[in-house]
Amino acid sequence: MFVEAIESLKGKDCLTLLDYTTDQLVYLLQLAKDVKAKQKAGQIYQPLKGKVLGMIFEKSSTRTRVSFEAGIYQLGGTGLFLSSADLQLGRGEPIGDTAKVLSGYLDGIMIRTFQQSDIEELADNATIPVINGLTDDFHPCQVLADLQTIEEVKGKLQGLKIAYIGDGNNMAHSLMIGAAKMGMDFSTAAPEGYLPKQAIVDRAKEIADANQVTITITTDPIEAIKNADIVYTDVWASMGQESEQKKREALFASYQVNPALLKHAKPDYMFMHCLPAHRGEEVTADIIDGDQSYVFQEAENRLHAQKALMIALMAD
């Protein structure tokens, strides 16, 4: 299985987890586990020696930038930070032209941007792997790290239930897809008008049906969180939505992850959040800073999961 997955991933893009098979995801998670073990043991492991990753940022970042830059360095390569203000993209150069030029200089591109269509256009014109560091619709790298963390804590993925409480954003979309592909039940709750995009839900449900798991979309947070093994949330207003902050605070008030809501999850639930978090808004401080919170283990695993991804896509 792994031999086929290894060969099929070489040179492949990572735009959304919809593009990856379950076997490919299983391989990436095993590779992330191995890479993490090597680092913890102090082993030098540099399969990307001499490789260069270009990192385009049109959205600000802490975890994405540091984990990719540190990761490519630890693997023996070099990361180039490229803000949109520094590139001709910021002055109107076509995305396709930028992709073709960068393909001649680099071994891979990671981009963190707004429109999913922009990253798809970049990938269509590039001859090197393109990695989605975040768009408004998807955040596949975060979910790879999430799956790695769940497996570390729970010892398995298949048969577990993830409940995502909050805005039906890129995290809701990618978690839903990742859960369906790994044989996990998924539920999400948000106010009407803030639920995940129906087209993405429909695709995820096709995968879930094939893997005999369920996807539940509801406006009732208690229904969503019932018997959940993993409880996940995100900020109510993402980047670019700051003007909606007050409106969203009112709409999402009953969706806060707090002790009262968590009484409906399994007693041994694990709490997760992609960060940054707003304590007192989407989650109370006692939960995110409590014993059942794994948010910093999850954040660290961004490094290891993305190193695995870069190795799989970029190594010779």
The pTM for the full model equals: 0.96
Q: What is the pLDDT of residue 90?
A: 62
130-150 mean pLDDT: 98
Do 112 and 154 belong to one domain? no
State yes or no: 139 annotated in a binding site.
Answer: yes
Active-site residue, selected from the candidate residues 13, 107, 112, 229 = 112
Do 28 and 113 belong to one domain? yes
Active-site residue, selected from the candidate residues 173, 248, 273, 302 = 302
Do 176 and 126 belong to one domain? no
Do 304 and 292 belong to one domain? no
**Residue 1 confidence class, pLDDT cut points 50, 70, 90:** low
Do 276 and 153 belong to one domain? yes
Report d(CA 108, CA 123) in Å as an integer. 10
State yes or no: 142 annotated in a binding site.
Answer: yes
Do 149 and 177 belong to one domain? yes
State yes or no: 88 annotated in a binding site.
Answer: yes
Q: What is the pLDDT of residue 91?
A: 67
Could you tell me the two tokens for 4? Answer: 């086929």
Active-site residue, selected from the candidate residues 142, 148, 256, 306 = 142
Do 49 and 147 belong to one domain? no
State yes or no: 248 annotated in a binding site.
Answer: no
Report d(CA 204, CA 224) in Å as an integer. 17
User: What is the CB neighbour count within 10 angstroms for residue 115?
Assistant: 13
Write the pLDDT tens digit of every residue in 208-258.
999 999 999 999 999 999 999 999 999 998 767 778 888 999 999 999 999
Report d(CA 243, CA 241) in Å as an integer. 5
79-86 mean pLDDT: 88
10: pLDDT strictly greater than 70: yes
Q: What is the DSSP string of the chain?
A: -HHHHHHHHTT--BS-GGGS-HHHHHHHHHHHHHHHHHHHTT----TTTT-EEEEEESS--SHHHHHHHHHHHHTT-EEEEEETTTSGGGGT--HHHHHHHHHTT-SEEEEE-S-HHHHHHHHHH-SS-EEEEE-SS--HHHHHHHHHHHHHHHS--TT-EEEEES--SHHHHHHHHHHHHTT-EEEEE--TT-SPPHHHHHHHHHHHHHTT--EEEES-HHHHHTT-SEEEE--SS-TT-GGGHHHHHHHTGGG-B-HHHHTTS-TT-EEEE-S---BTTTB-HHHHTSTTB-HHHHHHHHHHHHHHHHHHHH--
Mean pLDDT of the chain: 96
Residue 14 is a catalytic residue: no
Do 7 and 134 belong to one domain? yes
Residue 65 is a catalytic residue: no
Q: What is the pLDDT of residue 204?
A: 98
Active-site residue, selected from the candidate residues 74, 274, 304, 306 = 274
Q: What is the pLDDT of residue 237?
A: 83
Residue 146 is a catalytic residue: no
State yes or no: 132 annotated in a binding site.
Answer: no
Total domains in the chain come to: 2
The answer to whether residues 109 and 126 touch, using CB atoms and an 8 Å cutoff, is yes
Write the pLDDT tens digit of every residue in 174-199.
999 999 999 999 999 999 999 999 99
Could you tell me the two tokens for 235? Answer: 């900020």
User: What is the CB neighbour count within 10 angstroms for residue 193?
Assistant: 8
Do 60 and 86 belong to one domain? yes
Do 135 and 145 belong to one domain? no
Owning domain of residue 67: 1-139+300-314
State yes or no: 140 annotated in a binding site.
Answer: yes
Do 37 and 111 belong to one domain? yes
Place of tokens 């969503």: 224
Nearest to 272 by CA among 164, 159, 144, 132: 164
Do 101 and 118 belong to one domain? yes
With the CA atoms of 122, 123, 124 and 125 taken in that order, what torsion angle do they form, in degrees rounded to the nearest 10? 60
What's the CATH code of the domain at 259? 3.40.50.1370
Residue 274 is a catalytic residue: yes
